[in-house]
Amino acid sequence: MGFFRGLAYDVYVGAFPMIAIVGFATYGVILLTAGMVSAKRYSKRLRRVPVKVHRWMGIMALLLATLHLLMGVSTYV
């Protein structure tokens, strides 16, 4: 857990620690995934995007969220 604790708060990207960057990235991927499905009604180009893309974006969001959770929990363990 020391690795995740060090990664979470010892590595900074700009003004934010890595845990914040991973949290922002997770939130962004979740919004893009939901937005892509919602916007399919209005865009002919998005209608051609296969379901596999949506599935992979969801998997990426889960992996980022799990990393974010591990970094947060490692702070208190």
The pLDDT tens digits for 5-18 are: 888 888 888 899 99
35-67 tens-digit pLDDT: 988 888 888 888 888 889 989 999 999 999 999
Domain span including residue 25? 2-76
pTM of structure? 0.83
Q: State the sign of the Cα–Cα–Cα–Cα dihedral 67, 19, 30, 28.
A: negative
Tally the domains of the chain.
1
HSE-up (13 A, CA, CB side) for residue 32: 15
Q: How far apart are CA 70 and CA 44, in angstroms?
A: 39
